[in-house]
Amino acid sequence: MTAESIFPRLEPLLPKVQKPIQYVGGELNSTVKEWDSADVRWALMYPDAYEVGLPNQGVAILYEILNELPATLAERTYAVWPDLEALMRAEGVPQFTVDAHRPVRAFDVFGVSFSTELGYTNMLTALDLAGIPLVAAERGDDDPIVLAGGHAAFNPEPIADFLDAAVLGDGEQIAIAITEVIREWKDEGRPGGRDELLMRLAESGGVYVPRFYDVDYHPDGRIKRVAPNRPDVPWRVHKHTVMDLDEWPYPKKPLVPLAETVHERFSVEIFRGCTRGCRFCQAGMITRPVRERSITTVGAMVKQGIEESGFNEVGLLSLSSADHSEIGDLAKGLADRYEGTNTSLSLPSTRVDAFNIDLANEFSRNGRRSGLTFAPEGGSERMRKVINKMVTEEDLIRTVTAAYSQGWRQVKLYFMCGLPTETDEDVLGIADLAKKVIKAGREATGSRDIRCTVSIGGFVPKPHTPFQWAGQADHETVDRRLKALRDSLRRDKEYGRAIGYRYHDGKPSIVEGLLSRGDRRVGAVIRAVWEDGGRFDGWSEHFSYERWMAAAERAGVDVDWYTTREREENEVLPWDHLDAGLDREWLWQDWQDAVSGGEVEDCRWTPCYDCGVCPTMGTEIQIGPTGRKLLPLTVV
Ligand code: SF4
């Protein structure tokens, strides 16, 4: 397969499409290496448009790490919009990388990072445009290894037929290990072809190769067992955990987008993992344990990243950034360092307490005091206990009072609808809470110029969480509750006009639920949707519930069975052979505790409660305070 640039064939198409700049590459800090300087080559894809894909941290980190390796190159590719797809098909232009516009099929690995299952159809488009057979079993020795990673790869079964391999967990070390396996196999003259390469990857224990596992079913459709069909392939595949984030200070040279993107800032991950134990949160469960990056390294990364990119906003990322053990020192140190400059700091706030307001004040020293976001997630105290989000109404009111009285005028509250055991009253409780927030704000400021936006997402039960056994609420129930909530807010003469309301209907959550907890039989639905024109399913203007339901019917897949059905304790779940480290018995007990009102503390500050991750993975919680300082100490 030739690796020559396809740009001469792409260029004439670009004036005919929207936002052509997203396809031209050449961003500051992008890398183009000579093709022949490398013997292992990766094409990395984020399966969404450039504007969403470019800021993705996972792809950016692997791109840099792989390009730093000798004799290895990595380039990026994104989903092309339907206007360019049609022209590429008409002109025979293949899926290309934006860096050197090389055809994706020429690479050794086609790595796709899935943050959400709604990117599956976009992967099929890319494979098809690349000229790579959609079905893994039909690929030949000239085709790349199609490899999935990211959070959705913790249950890759619905796309198992389309994948050669999947990797669970942190990608830094395993990407290097996979590169070395491929290099060795190529150096030896590719013995045994593609099959042997996949065997070598599978035998390593760190790469899941779906074709080496057979799935048997009971007559009623439940899974009987998943078993390796070759000797030397492990029964379970484990996730990867990077234990010292200070050793992996990436991105060092952040990519600066050419076209508009969803986040235009330099993001530094200040810790990985979360042990707060919110039962709905797959990210929190599968990234355990907590591993903090030291304040010194964060400071150095911020300094270098700004210098290398020219960004004037820095985001301190994690699943709950205010929980970093030295966040106070970090916020103050960075705010001091950049005071009076054009560099502003941001912190995704999800915890509801007064400490967050102090932090927000530090972070807004150089910027606008626009809005604060809090996520109580559940509308009633009872609901918040079920999901283990231990926030009382009192906490919330105290926090927003502090925020409003210190000059913040806009508070955004995030909730979910369709949670296990939820009733209509729990959802209507969101309206009461929002009204109390406005009332508190008016009292604290003496002003009526107070706003609160209520934003609601549909709950989807996810694999590797205590809710993996739960029945998902059907979309009719979710829509009915959301409508009742909207009516309750609108009816209120005193507070209704001060409360904004954002929600989506419940249908996309059902499709996400099908894909999240699906098994290999769901692959036929994904393919049928794609053949019927399904693209960009994460975008409401492209998503079609009817298309998904029609495809499921054609494929003989009962969507309710996969979504609204509650599972028994001993049912074999499609992802049971994929090990996120969590003890299955602990997860089941936590699901029982959810229903009976039992709470779990955060193991960072209380004794270990044996979720299983640390002993299984050989890891441990890594938190400060380290007593180290933010360097350099000079104020810019
Ligand atoms: S094993 Fe214990 S310390 Fe480790 S994440 Fe689980 S509960 Fe926390």
Q: Where are the domains of the chain?
A: 7-232, 241-370+601-636
Global pTM value: 0.96
| Segment 436-477, tens digit of pLDDT | 999 999 999 999 989 999 999 999 999 999 999 999 999 999
**143 band by pLDDT with thresholds 50, 70 and 90:** very high
Pairing of the two strands 213-217 and 109-113: unpaired
Side-chain half-sphere CA neighbours of 447 within 13 A: 12
Residue nearest to atom 2 of ligand 1 (CA): 608
3-state secondary structure string across 261-328? CCCCCEEEECEECCCCCCCCCHHHHHCCCCEECCHHHHHHHHHHHHHHHCCCEEEEECCCHHHCCCHH
- φ, ψ at 458 (rounded to 5°): -85, 135
The 410-417 sheet, strands edge to edge? 371-377, 410-417, 451-458, 499-503
Q: Which of 339, 334, 328, 272 is nearest to 303 (CA)?
A: 334
Banded pLDDT at 350 (limits 50, 70, 90)? low
| Cα 268 to ligand 1 centroid, rounded to whole Å | 25
> Measured in angstroms, how far is the CA atom of residue 552 from the centroid of ligand 1?
39
Q: Please tell me whether residue 54 adopts helix, strand or coil conformation.
A: coil
Residue of 582, 585, 609 with the most ligand 1 atoms within 8 Å of its CB, for mutation: 609
Q: Which of 239, 274, 275, 582 to probe ligand 1 with, by most ligand atoms within 8 A of CB?
A: 275
- Residue range 386-414: mean pLDDT, rounded: 89
CA of 155 relative to ligand 1 center, distance in Å = 22
CA–CA dist 582, 463 (Å, integer): 11
Distance 272 CA to ligand 1 centre (A): 14
Q: Indicate the residue type of 430.
A: I
Residue nearest to atom 6 of ligand 1 (CA): 611
Q: Identify the H or E element spanning 8.
A: helix 7-10
Q: Is the peptide bond before 289 cis (omega within 30 degrees of 0)?
A: yes
Mean pLDDT (whole number) for 282-298: 96
Does 632 have pLDDT greater than 60?
no
Phi, psi angle pair for 411, to nearest 5°? -120, 135
Residue ranges lining ligand 1, Cβ < 6 Å:
275, 288-289, 603, 608-614, 621
* pLDDT above 80 for 291: yes
Q: How do strand 291-292 and strand 72-78 relate by DSSP bridges?
A: unpaired
Calpha distance 256→266 (Å, rounded): 9
In the reported structure, the alpha carbon of residue 243 is separated from the centroid of ligand 1 by a whole-number distance in angstroms of: 14
Cα of 428 from ligand 1 centre, angstroms: 35
pLDDT at 635: 46
Q: Residue 607 C-alpha to ligand 1 middle, in angstroms? A: 8
CA-nearest residue, atom 3 of ligand 1: 608
Residue 223 has pLDDT above 70, yes or no: yes
Pocket test for ligand 1, best of 600, 621, 623 (most atoms within 8 A of CB): 621
Residue 353 is predicted with a pLDDT of 64
Mean pLDDT value of segment 273-285? 95
- N-to-C CA span, the chain: 51
Minimal-distance CA residue to ligand 1 atom 5 = 289
Structural domain 7-232, CATH architecture: 3-Layer(aba) Sandwich (3.40)
Which atom of ligand 1 sits closest to the CA of residue 289?
5
Mean pLDDT to the nearest integer, 42-50: 98
In this predicted model, what pLDDT tens digit does every residue of 472-528 receive, in sequence order?
Answer: 999 999 999 999 999 999 999 999 999 999 998 899 999 999 999 999 999 999 999
**What fold, for 241-370+601-636?**
Transcription Regulator spoIIAA (3.30.750)
Mean pLDDT value of segment 615-636: 77
pLDDT of residue 64 exceeding 70: yes
CATH topology identical between 7-232 and 241-370+601-636: no
The reported pLDDT for the residue numbered 369 is: 65
Cα 602 to ligand 1 centre (Å): 9
d(CA 626, CA 294): 7
